Chain A
């Protein structure tokens, strides 16, 4: 059974801080790892990672995959209150098309 573990479970930081969120996984026939941001409704897509060592970047957010360590990190620099959300990590395998296994999520709160 595929498994995804995220840490920390929750985090409170001050605006302007940099945060690193962790995701580790166990999956048979790994296909991709995805990061989502969830505020009050459904998750919104951030990144999809398939290759090890290649950083994906979007504004203040970046992410990288380490297939050897079976893990990924999501970095957020110069955090803003609008970054407060639950960040979800998910993995897919090559077996069933598109099926995702989600981690527990990291609840990030950015305070003034």
Chain B
């Protein structure tokens, strides 16, 4: 099966600092990766679609200057939360779809819990 990893699994940062979260597809190449956000006891909300070699596509209401996405290689996408504030505290999850599923199935990373103090 496909494996998607995320790093770090947990991060605590001070208000005003920036935090980078990495998402890697370990055994397949992914031209597209997805970033989700999940608040406690809520469902996953798609933030943006990360496209290798081009700009990310952001969902309505998501600030692209706040959540910077870079998909520099076929196995790595990064999400940088810039000038983090306590309201950015959340569980961030990435996913990717292996080519052998023809885009039909996403595999999720283990998630990153961000706490901004």
CA–CA, A32 and B102, complex, Å: 12
Given A41-B111, A99-B34, CB of A104 within 8 Å of CB of B97 = no
Q: Does A73 interact with chain B (Cβ within 8 Å)?
A: no
Partner-A contacts on B (CB < 8 A): 32, 34, 36, 41-46, 49, 93, 95, 97, 103-111
A97 touches B105 (CB 8 A): no
**Residues of A contacting B104 in the complex (Cβ-Cβ under 8 angstroms):** 31-32, 48, 50, 92, 98
A88→B46 CA distance, assembly (Å):
14
Binding site for B on A (CB under 8 A): 31-32, 34, 36, 41-45, 48, 50, 88, 90, 92, 96-105, 107
- Which of B36, B95, B103 is most buried by chain A, counting CB atoms within 10 A of its CB? B103
* B110 & A88 in contact (Cβ 8 Å cutoff): no
Residue from B49, B97, B110 in contact with A42 in the complex, judged by beta carbons closer than 8 Å: B110
**Chain A residues within 8 Å of B45, by CB:** 102
**Secondary structure class of chain A's binding surface, majority of residues:** strand
29 contacts between A and B (CB under 8 A): A31-B104, A36-B108, A41-B111, A42-B110, A42-B111, A43-B108, A44-B108, A45-B105, A45-B107, A48-B105, A50-B104, A90-B44, A92-B104, A97-B32, A97-B103, A98-B32, A98-B103, A98-B104, A99-B34, A99-B46, A100-B34, A100-B46, A100-B95, A100-B106, A102-B43, A103-B43, A104-B42, A104-B43, A105-B42
A41 x B110 contact (CB < 8 A): yes
Q: Which residue of A lies closest to B31 (CB)?
A: A97
A residues near B44, Cβ cutoff 8 Å: 43, 88, 90, 102
- Alpha-carbon distance between A41 and B36 when the two chains are bound, in angstroms: 13
Please measure, in the bound complex, the distance between the C-alpha atom of A101 and the C-alpha atom of B60, giving whole angstroms. Answer: 13
